[in-house]
Amino acid sequence: MARPSVELLAPAGTPEALHAAVAAGADAVYLGLEAFNARRNAGNFTIDSLGEACAYAHLRGAKVYVAMNTVILPGEVADALECARQAYRAGADAFIVQDIGLASELSRTLPEARLHISTQMNTINAAGIHAAARLGARRVTLGRELSLGEVEALASDAAALGMEVEVFAHGALCICYSGQCLMSSLIGGRSANRGLCAQACRLPFELRSASLRKPLDAPGEHLLSPQDLCAVDLIGDLVDAGVASLKIEGRMKSPEYVAAVTAVYRAVLDRVLDARETGQAGPIPATDDERARLAEAFSRGFTTGYLEGERGNAMMSYQRPNNRGVPVGRVAEVRDGAALLKPTVPLAAGDVVEFWTRKGHGAVTLASAEADRQGRVRIPLDGRVRGVKAGDRVFRVRSAEAAYADDALAPRVAVRGTVALRIGEPLRVSFAPAAPADLPADAALGTRAAARRLADRAPSAPAPLGTAEGPVVEPARTKAVTADDVRAHVDRLGSTPYVLTDLAVDLDEGVGIGFSQLHHVRAAALDALGAALLAGTRDRVLPRVTPRDPLPEARVAGCTVAAWATNPACARAAKRAGAEVIFVPALNYRRGEAVIAGQLSATAEQAGYPKQCAVALPVADHDAEGCSREARVGYDVWRYVEEGRPVLADSLAALERAADAGAIVEVGPHLPVANGLSLDVCAAFGARRVWLSPELTLRQIEELGRDKPVELGLTVIGSQELMVTEHCLLMSQGPCNQDCAACPRRRTPHHLKDRKGFEFPVVTDALGRSHLYNSVRLDVAQALPELLAAGVSSFMVDTTLMNVEESAQAVGRVVRALKVAQRDGNSVAKMPDTTSGHLFRGVS
């Protein structure tokens, strides 16, 4: 049986982390440039340093993927495209992209580069795979919320289209569906879709209900903080599922983290692949030492999470949102300003240990780790940690012995060489990559991985790739050169990125040669080998870009007021107040699922929805595979989609599938459309109207309004959705049987309260997914004159958290504002205690 080909993909936030990843055995690294990447606070790379990074990786057979996984604003399109072109020229092997417009244009103008769809595009179903293929993608990084069964099904779908799937196997988990989080953006102006997430989800919150004036019981206060993903024991399952790449999260993490985690996953993955090659099935577990190394690298506690169908409290880190390290024991005694600890693992000077006390946590760096006769280490507290008492737990959060020492030449590339010294012929030296089987048992992990990759590029025994010739060899005038002499001088490779595993010497008897000549020819042969290994990856010729054919501008018949309603009562009130279009979420269409002001309510359903409502498809729309909620609950939202009927699609996948079904499709704001290229993609996929991203400013909307191929809409009043979570936020109250239809918690409005007193409403839907809303209502009705001038022709009122009276008033306000703006260009007054979102302030 052939050995499966599965890539190990590691993060590289800095050059040091890049070296650590490749030295630890990564097959590929992903990194960001100074702009257009979702980790703008990482060290990142310039175009010049990217070239160096690519040369370093390619010499060792590793690949480099450039993350351009942010939303691209109108004024950035040209710069983003040029950035990608120069990155490809510098050696980038692929681009990881979120923005659908950038993805489509890179596929068109730079087809030689591989396009990988970022997890930020929220691909969680088969329609998403087909949409990615239509964009020209070669690989899709799947959403983290998928079970193993779903991953296997999507890997099969992708393979049928000549594509690959990639999954995250280790690292931080976002509580929100990727690409859908606006919490950091709307609270603090730092957008996750722009690479500056402030991680507001890791802050403390209280869960409260409308019926109580005190916080509900919870295991901790970090109610939006998941544990870290660790799928090291599921690698066999992921390989068997057809996954092409296992991805490690962590571009903001240290080189020590990258080195440790990559090395463990390399070792386990190799054992799995070796087992599959010999026909051995089943799991290949990590060792206890390997698990401990992962925990010490960084851990909020580990979970396999959604991969094994876990979506409850067991996957959450309610008590601690940051690294907890590994336990090293409990305080035995506190005396003379110091804690005495009998460690359960060896400690060393320079280790950082953290005390968990009733008053919080505090860290101390050990100046010494010498133990007394009782085996206890004395740790001076010096006032840095308060409230330490006997019995308190102690964790090591940084190991001095695990410190990473950067070596820009490591891992060395194993080579085999030949030297020919035949009298009357030119001195000849040749090198080629060594075969993995020729490496010594103690070869470095990265050296072994590099040898395997280089061998995979030339499956048969590699011919010499680097050859150089010197002067004609003559008989010795004094002492003849021996084969041992030749080996000793050729093997002086300490200042090069190579290590010699075998050298064949073809030597005539009585040969004489100057060793400096031998050194010179050896160096030239190594240069030739390097050039051969890097051939086609540097200073690439960029293809000529031809202009796109412009799409015809959309014809707008008039202005439309629309309402988003989650129950019949508010839908009817909105229609009476003047809303011409009513969007009803598919999950609220079913009898018994009406939600009014965040509360499941049967009384709001008495009259039924008005006729001609348009169905809105959910952001999170899994196929009925594996452990998905759709499979378990048996709820199919697509039964409401009909040919010739309007439908709102909140993802590229839903747009693809609904248009293919012949529906009249509008694109919702959860598919962030922020530039003209993205508008063109929506039009090409069959959309007639696009509801714009709430992160756009008025000026940016004006730019989109010029020559637009589709109608533009904008939500102008309503509570803005911050998150959609697979984990139900109401579960922190205690055990949950996940029978969402009968859940009593859903019949009471809930909210999360932060330490500043702001209250963020929580609504859990029929599939058990939670929706978190901003604490302050959006209202930009006063800006309708400017929005009309910018090209917006449709205006939405989101009544999700409104009652019937509030819904009527909000729709009436927009109808009135539109009449005033159309009549004489004036505006209505601004409402107090509301926010204008990003319309005027923008995002970082």
Does position 463 have pLDDT exceeding 70, yes or no? no
pLDDT at 402: 87
- My answer on whether omega of the bond before 327 falls inside 30° of 0, hence cis, is no
Q: 122: exposed, middle or buried (C-beta count within 10 Å: 0-12, 13-18, 19+)? A: buried
Mean pLDDT value of segment 155-166: 98
Mean pLDDT value of segment 106-118: 96
Contact yes or no for 256/19 (Cβ under 8 A) = no
The CATH topology of domain 7-175+226-314 is TIM Barrel (3.20.20)
Contact yes or no for 829/782 (Cβ under 8 A) = yes
Distance CA 413, CA 447 (A): 6
Confidence of residue 842 (pLDDT cuts 50, 70, 90): confident
Average pLDDT, the chain: 94
Does position 104 have pLDDT exceeding 50, yes or no? yes
Helix, strand, coil percent values for the chain (each to nearest 5): 35, 25, 45
In 3D space, the residue among 669, 697, 667 whose CA is nearest the CA of residue 680 turns out to be 667
Query: What distance lies between CA 641 and its chain's CA centroid?
Result: 31
Output phi, psi for 741, to 5 deg.
-65, -30
DSSP 630-662: HHHH---GGGG--TTSEEEESSHHHHHHHHHTT
Q: At a CB cut-off of 8 Å and minimum separation 6, what does 430 contact?
A: 417, 418, 464, 466, 467, 525
Query: What distance lies between CA 75 and its chain's CA centroid?
Result: 25
In 3D space, the residue among 349, 361, 371, 346 whose CA is nearest the CA of residue 393 turns out to be 361
Distance CA 43, CA 59 (A): 23
Confidence of residue 323 (pLDDT cuts 50, 70, 90): confident
Distance CA 493, CA 417 (A): 12
Summarised one tens digit per residue, pLDDT across range 492-538 is 999 999 999 999 999 999 999 889 999 999 999 999 999 999 999 98
DSSP 696-748: --HHHHHHHTTT-SSEEEEEEEEPPEEEEESS-GGGGGS-----GGG-GGGGS
Mapped onto helix, strand or coil, the DSSP state of residue 262 is helix
pLDDT at 478: 87
DSSP 266-306: HHHHHHHHHHHHTT--S--PPPHHHHHHHHHH--S-EE-GG
Confidence of residue 459 (pLDDT cuts 50, 70, 90): low
In 3D space, the residue among 282, 319, 281 whose CA is nearest the CA of residue 300 turns out to be 319
Summarised one tens digit per residue, pLDDT across range 483-492 is 999 999 999 9
pLDDT at 641: 96
Task: Please report how the helices 568-576 and 804-824 are oriented relative to each other, as an axis angle in degrees rounded to 10.
Answer: 30
Helices and strands (H, E) in the chain, number of each type: 21, 38
Buried b / exposed e along 581-606 (16+ C-beta atoms within 10 A): bbbbbbbbbeeebbbbbbbbbeebbe
Distance CA 48, CA 15 (A): 12
Amino acid occupying residue 723: M
pLDDT at 462: 57
Contact yes or no for 209/260 (Cβ under 8 A) = no
Mean pLDDT value of segment 256-272: 97
- How far CA 240 is from CA of 6, 9, 152, 243, 277, in Å, comes to 10, 18, 8, 8, 12
Summarised one tens digit per residue, pLDDT across range 239-257 is 999 999 999 999 999 999 9
Mapped onto helix, strand or coil, the DSSP state of residue 40 is coil
Distance CA 424, CA 45 (A): 51
For CATH 2.40.10.170, list the domain ranges present in the chain: 326-402
**Taking the domain 560-719+778-824, which CATH number applies?**
3.20.20.70
In 3D space, the residue among 772, 763, 773, 752 whose CA is nearest the CA of residue 205 turns out to be 752
DSSP 317-340: --S-SS---EEEEEEEEEETTEEE
Summarised one tens digit per residue, pLDDT across range 372-423 is 989 999 999 877 788 899 999 999 988 998 889 999 999 999 999 999 999 9
Q: What is the largest CA-CA distance in the chain?
A: 110
Contact yes or no for 328/394 (Cβ under 8 A) = yes
Contact yes or no for 764/745 (Cβ under 8 A) = yes
- How far CA 414 is from CA of 28, 417, 460, 812, in Å, comes to 18, 10, 17, 74
pLDDT at 547: 86
3-state SS track over 737-780? CCCHHHCHHHHCCEEEECCCCCEEEEEECCCCCEEEECCCCEEC
Strand partners, 691: 713
Buried b / exposed e along 266-289 (16+ C-beta atoms within 10 A): bbbbbbbbebbeeeeeeebebeee
pLDDT at 461: 47
Summarised one tens digit per residue, pLDDT across range 718-755 is 999 999 999 999 999 999 999 999 999 999 999 999 99
For CATH 3.20.20.70, list the domain ranges present in the chain: 7-175+226-314, 560-719+778-824
Strand partners, 11: 30
Q: How many CA atoms lie within 13 A of 16 on its CB side?
A: 12
Mean pLDDT value of segment 572-601: 95
Contact yes or no for 273/31 (Cβ under 8 A) = no
Distance CA 738, CA 238 (A): 26
DSSP summary character for residue 611 = T
Distance CA 236, CA 737 (A): 30
Q: Higher model confidence: residue 22 or residue 214?
A: 22
pLDDT at 1: 67
Summarised one tens digit per residue, pLDDT across range 212-231 is 878 999 999 999 999 999 99
**Taking the domain 326-402, which CATH number applies?**
2.40.10.170
Q: At a CB cut-off of 8 Å and minimum separation 6, what does 654 contact?
A: 127, 617, 621
Mean pLDDT value of segment 768-781: 98
Residues composing the chain? 844
Distance CA 205, CA 823 (A): 47
Contact yes or no for 666/691 (Cβ under 8 A) = yes
Confidence of residue 38 (pLDDT cuts 50, 70, 90): low
Q: Which helix (H) or strand (E) holds 116?
A: strand 114-117
pLDDT at 561: 98
In 3D space, the residue among 30, 239, 200, 38 whose CA is nearest the CA of residue 754 turns out to be 200
